[in-house]
Amino acid sequence: MEKKKNFLLGKGEALTRVVTKKNGPSDKNPAYSFSSAKERITNKLRNACTYLDNLESTALPDDKVIASIVIHPRFISKTDFPKELLNEVGFITVGGTSKYVKPEQWGIEKHPDGAVTDTLFVSTTRKALRGLAEKINGWQPDSDAHLQLQAIEDLTIPTGESKVKGPESNNTSGLFEVVLHSGANPSVLNSFYNFLDHLNVEPIKQKVRFSSGITFVPVRGTNISLEQVGTFTYVRAVRRMPTLRTFKPSAIRTLYSENIALPDELVLDNEVRVAIFDGGIPQGSPLLKWVNCYEGDGVGNATAPLLHHGESVTSAILFGHISSTDNIPMPYSKVDHIRVIDDATGLDGDFEFYDVLDRILNHLDGVEKPYHFVNFSLGPDMSVEDDEINRWTFELDLRFAKKDILAAVAVGNTGELDSELKLNRIQPPADGVNVLSVGACDSLDSAWSRASYSSIGPGRTPGIAKPDGVSFGGTTQQPFGVVSSYANGISGVEGTSFSTPFALRTCIGARALIGEDISPLGIRALLIHHSDSGDHKSQEVGWGRFISDPEVLLACEDDEVTILYEGLLPLSKYLRAPIPLPESVLTGNVQVKATLAIAPEVDPAFAHAYTRAGLEVVFRPDTTKVAEDKSEDYSNTDTFFSTGKIYNKSELQLRQDGHKWEPCLKASKTKRGSSLVKPCFDLYYHNRDEGRADKEARPMPYALLVTLKAPRVKNLYSLVLQAYAEILLPLEPRTQVRIPITTA
């Protein structure tokens, strides 16, 4: 008789309760004395006015300017936001970014040489800046607004040179993208057009795009100075117009050129909705049985390479990696394939960067029934920028900030490019905080590495842990097998274009197997939770290699148990999530592993505060141990999640509270079984709006996975299930599906 399998335990949220959060004292010794702060800021204001006086008058629309305020690294918490100061001087925050600084003073004895801090972009006028330089001289330390001067490290007007992204700056020609700050109203935009006219630069007005208050203006010119374009005070960034990625060779070789027998079955679950945005499906493709084909708005002609790419991506979603024609598995669901790329894709100087995104957004926004899963094996051909958020990234993040959709994005195939210039870094929109960013590994076997072509991390902070993980994507020696109309059989391909749908197929399978008992957000957290990085560097493989078999993803060994909690994180309070244990004391060592994920709203104008929600987790291994001066709800704590467990500090300078704003946390810790007494995690979500505390925040959807593994307790799973039989629910597959074991 076959042994009964153990599966993930759901309904962990039924164990949770709300606990009031107590905040500690927040008084800080200022970095600068009040008199010193007044003198410093007054001098900086005068220097800013001198710079503005040297600009062309047309660079200041109605005398308006955008100033840059650098916050001292010790005062970047949301409670330290200088709201009172900004209100008193009439500054309006329109954006922000992160910056590495070495402060003149720290106000404390022990400190690093430098740190990452916040830079605020504020709207004001040249006249107001002149008046403020005189006004500050009369200030006294008698209000919060005045005292907040002590938290300001720098105040400048960004130069045109500082706004140019990339190596080009002067005497360059072609098509470029100019990004205008939030608050660029029609009057400012018309002033910018007049400014460009004086520079003999043509704005492409019909292609101007507006989103989340930011304006994107394509411009064209010959022998122009991008630095001079950047002197217009409302310009935030100038860059050469990105193109879309070109794909790796469509096929490495034909693996099987014979009539293949695809499954007779239709799909496991007709209710699961899946979308693929790609290059289309060839007419007569054997995949059309499972595919609904759509054309994106205004899409041009298809090409054979793009159709082959689209067919290959679709095959990977439907069947995974085909290593043999003898046992091709049935698809978990049907898919919608939306053709959004055409014969203009990848051409220098085209508008496909805009047009393809428009097609994607129009389809997503216009579909009657929302999708559960979406695949993107395409994107801009550029590395992620730390100080700016690509429009592809934030437009998708805005739409995927919910628990009931999971989007998988290929990180790109630039892993072999120059690392010194960071050309091998992940490409947008894989830096999104609400997407699953997938790289490629070179094998399905126990010995594996990152595929050399797979782009590497880190991502931007927040969202630094990128890629989220890797999946098999094929290599020249071991290609990824896909159905191919052109080969009239199975072709071998390689690339993150195929590792991404392969990983997403596992997620679709998990949903098809257990239905609505787990959300797409929960599935994303589960995939990351069970990923294994081995000895590989986090910037190469993220959290690790993903499991490719959905039944294995959902399963538990006898000596381990995994519990899923899903629900809403309350405002300004802890959500206490008890970790279920057997009634008897556990013997030996116990590994506690936890993964927590949210899908936060985002604010693209504020790169440093991009996520409007962040996480704080407190681990209490023994809730019976309480310090004398604490109430019983506040037992002793132990470290668990930390910045160092996301990325080593030696690898990247992080802002001090950076880990609190990450949308996904994962860590593990080994404890003696006897030290775990009614253990729990306290979950708290921070909220902010444009860098300030957000008073209108709503409860945040979350997914938490906790695994206990106790090698000396051989029946841990059954003991926990027995103790919580009335609360926890095994998420058993509704249908046992034939899933062949694939080997590379």
- pLDDT, one tens digit per residue, over 93-140 is 999 998 889 999 998 888 888 988 999 999 999 999 999 988 998 899
Cα 68 from Cα 124, distance rounded (Å): 11
**pLDDT score at 418:** 94
Cα 527 from Cα 510, distance rounded (Å): 10
Contact 541, 554 (CB under 8 A): no
3-state secondary structure of 659: helix
Contact 375, 277 (CB under 8 A): yes
β-bridge mates for residue 669, sequence order:
592
Cα 734 from Cα 551, distance rounded (Å): 11
Tokens of 671: 């404890």
Contact partners, residue 160, CB within 8 Å, separation at least 6: 226, 227, 228, 229, 230, 231, 235
**pLDDT score at 249:** 59
The DSSP letter of residue 742 is P
Q: Which long-range contacts (CB under 8 A, 24 or more apart) does 88-92 make?
A: 88/143, 88/145, 88/146, 89/124, 89/128, 89/132, 89/135, 89/145, 90/124, 90/128, 91/67, 91/122, 91/123, 91/124, 92/122, 92/123, 92/124, 92/183
The residues of the chain scoring below 50 in pLDDT are 648-654, 737-744
Q: Which whole-number Å values give the CA distances from 221 to 202, 224, 345, in the listed order?
A: 6, 6, 22
What is the per-residue pLDDT across 661-679, written as a single tens digit (0 to 9) for each? 789 999 999 999 999 999 9
Dihedral of the alpha carbons of 714, 718, 724, 728, in degrees to the nearest 10: 110
Per-domain residue ranges for the chain?
9-21+556-730, 34-159, 163-240, 253-554
Tokens of 178: 């100019």
b/e code 492-506 from CB counts within 10 Å (16+ = b): bbbbbbbbbbbbbbb
Q: Which whole-number Å values give the CA distances from 677 to 171, 582, 622, 713, in the listed order?
A: 69, 10, 4, 16
Residue 51: is it exposed, middle or buried by C-beta count within 10 angstroms (0-12/13-18/19+)? Answer: middle
The secondary element (H helix, E strand) that includes residue 685 is strand 680-689
The secondary element (H helix, E strand) that includes residue 174 is strand 172-180
Contact 428, 392 (CB under 8 A): yes
Tokens of 449: 């590495």
**pLDDT score at 649:** 42
- First CA to last CA distance, the chain: 31
Cα 665 from Cα 684, distance rounded (Å): 13
DSSP string, 555-616: EE-TTEEEEEEEEEEPTTEEEEEE----SSPPPSEEEEEEEEEE---B-TTBGGG-BSEEEE
Q: Which whole-number Å values give the CA distances from 438 to 466, 543, 619, in the listed order?
A: 8, 10, 29
Contact partners, residue 39, CB within 8 Å, separation at least 6: none
DSSP string, 104-119: S--SSSS--S-EEEEE
Dump strand ranges (E) for 334-488: 335-339, 373-376, 406-410, 436-441, 469-472, 480-484
What is the per-residue pLDDT across 467-486, written as a single tens digit (0 to 9) for each? 999 999 999 999 999 999 98
The DSSP letter of residue 442 is S
Cα 431 from Cα 408, distance rounded (Å): 11
Contact 153, 70 (CB under 8 A): yes
Cα 532 from Cα 509, distance rounded (Å): 20
Question: Which CATH code fits 163-240?
Answer: 3.30.70.1140
Contact 686, 660 (CB under 8 A): yes
**pLDDT score at 2:** 66
Tokens of 455: 């782009």
If we measure between CA atoms, which residue out of 445, 448, 508 comes closest to residue 739?
508
Dump strand ranges (E) for 296-354: 335-339
- Name residue 681's amino acid: F
pLDDT above 70 coverage of the chain, percent: 92
Dump strand ranges (E) for 353-445: 373-376, 406-410, 436-441
The DSSP letter of residue 464 is -
What is the per-residue pLDDT across 641-659, written as a single tens digit (0 to 9) for each? 875 555 544 333 445 555 5
CATH class of 253-554: alpha beta
Strands 335-339 and 291-295: what pairing?
A: parallel
Contact 237, 61 (CB under 8 A): no
The secondary element (H helix, E strand) that includes residue 688 is strand 680-689
Average pLDDT value for the chain: 90
Tokens of 640: 């668990």
β-bridge mates for residue 701, sequence order:
568
3-state secondary structure of 207: helix
**Other C-beta atoms lying within 10 Å of the C-beta of residue 630:** 12
